[in-house]
Amino acid sequence: MAEETKDTKSSNQMWGGRFASGPAAIMEEINASIGFDKKLYAQDIRGSIAHATMLAHQGIISNEDKDKIIEGLNTILSEIESGQFEFSRKLEDIHMNIEARLATLIGPAAGRLHTARSRNDQVALDFRLWVKEELQKTETLLTNLITVFLKRAEEHADTVMPGFTHLQTAQPVTFGHHCMAYVEMFGRDRQRVRHAIEHMDESPIGSAALAGTGYNIDRHMTAKALGFREPTRNSIDTVSDRDFALEFLSIAAICATHLSRLAEEIVIWSTSQFSFIRLSDAFSTGSSIMPQKKNPDAAELVRAKTGRINGSLIALLTIMKGLPLAYSKDMQEDKEQVFDAAESLELSLAAMTGMIGDLEVRADKMKAAAGSGYSTATDLADWLVREAGLPFRDAHHVTGRAVAMAEEKSCDLADLSLEDLQSIHAAITADIYNVLTVEASVASRKSYGGTAPDEVRKQIKWWRARN
């Protein structure tokens, strides 16, 4: 028989002697998670330090062993961060890799660290800490994006552009008002992030495998040390729960959808047919054969990453949907989905913040397009109701006839003569021209949350006070 390798011996020791030989190669391949869960090293070490400190405080381990454990864990942290640590697939996961190295560094005292805990509550703690930190990053990135939009909205509170429904010209709005729509959208995303942090702010450690522990531990102490509001209240649910990961992915999917809608508008607006904006060179690429091209690749890639994030959400929902309580190995498949989605969302938010901050707004093109498609037709109908006393449905009919006449004459509504308009309805007077320009239309929309420049500025002020 070939000599057993050091890694195999370590692996067998970790299994506690239950198996006569190490796992088969296929089992090792499907079972190992160190290739991705090594990302949790800082959280694992942080949790172990808190756990060891609590064990010593409760008299479960000696202060001498606690000091050795903490010193060893800090050494391992330095080794990992400096790139000197050697991860082993035979040791399965980040927990076993760190524990095995700790045993090499400090000897038998390392074996006391796992007292009153299981890998089930250990991984729940590590993953929860990681997701909480990622949510905090996401909150900051969303705040950065909202800040950029507020700046652009303030700059363009008076800049007229067409508003669209069905991607058809509907009514004139301002670009500032359009920017504020995204402030509202990403503001809701940020609020969801804050709620998610509140929901998950409970410490799993101390739940052990599923039933808690017979040791006299202090879970409130470890919760406080790790920055949690309180410990979880049911040990079975604790090791079974991945709602925090699902909630993160749900938030990420909604936010990515918002980013994708914005990216689509950037792609459309930057075309020569629209020419509403020019993207900076920093967020564009050229064509290999068409020298005139300036492609909005960053926006297109943000739009595409929505598919990856949505896929991660569906994958984890599917993983969790049929699992009986408590822990099952299926849950090992949760981390790659969250890690990938988090990376995609971080990059997308940062890229979009850069694009919005750098893009050039072509106010002349926006204004020219704002009056197209008879966008002030509703203003004509409203004037007929307000000034001539017509029921709105009658005013709507009169306005439709005016639009048909303008189409026949190939002109805008404001270019129709008073005689033309009076031939449709005698109650129309010269005052109608005060509402048929896009500027007048926009200025008249003074209802709360409307597009009038002064109203837009009020909303900007409200958001600045809360951002």
CA atoms within 13 A on the CB side of 219: 22
Alpha-carbon distance of 66 to 285, in angstroms, equals 56
C-alpha–C-alpha distance, residues 361 and 154, integer Å: 13
Residues in the chain: 467
Instruction: Give the separation between CA 129 and CA 197, rounded to whole angstroms.
Output: 10
Question: Any idea what the Cα angle at residue 362 is, between residues 357 and 367, rounded to 5°?
Answer: 130
- Kindly name the residue from 21, 78, 287, 417 that is annotated as catalytic: 287
Cα 457 from Cα 177, distance rounded (Å): 9
Out of 166, 272, 410, 447, pick the active-site residue.
166
The reply to whether 156 belongs to the active site is: no
**DSSP secondary structure letters along 388-425:** H---HHHHHHHHHHHHHHHHHHTS-GGGS-HHHHHHH-
Neighbours of 376 (CB within 10 A): 26
Give the separation between CA 136 and CA 438, rounded to whole angstroms. Answer: 43
Cα(360)–Cα(352) distance, rounded to whole angstroms? Answer: 14
199 is catalytic: no
Residue in this structure with the two tokens 């890694």, named with its chain if needed = 7
- Pure H helices in 289-333: 297-320
CB atoms closer than 10 angstroms to residue 404: 12
In the structure encoding, which two tokens stand for residue 448, read together?
Answer: 């709360």
> Which run of H or E residues covers position 174?
strand 168-174
H/E stretch holding 164 reads strand 160-165
Q: Exposure of 98 by Cβ count < 10 A (0-12 exposed, 13-18 middle, 19+ buried)?
A: buried
- How far lies 43's CA from each of 71, 109, 194, 345, 365, in Å? 16, 21, 21, 21, 52
Name the residues annotated as catalytic: 166, 287
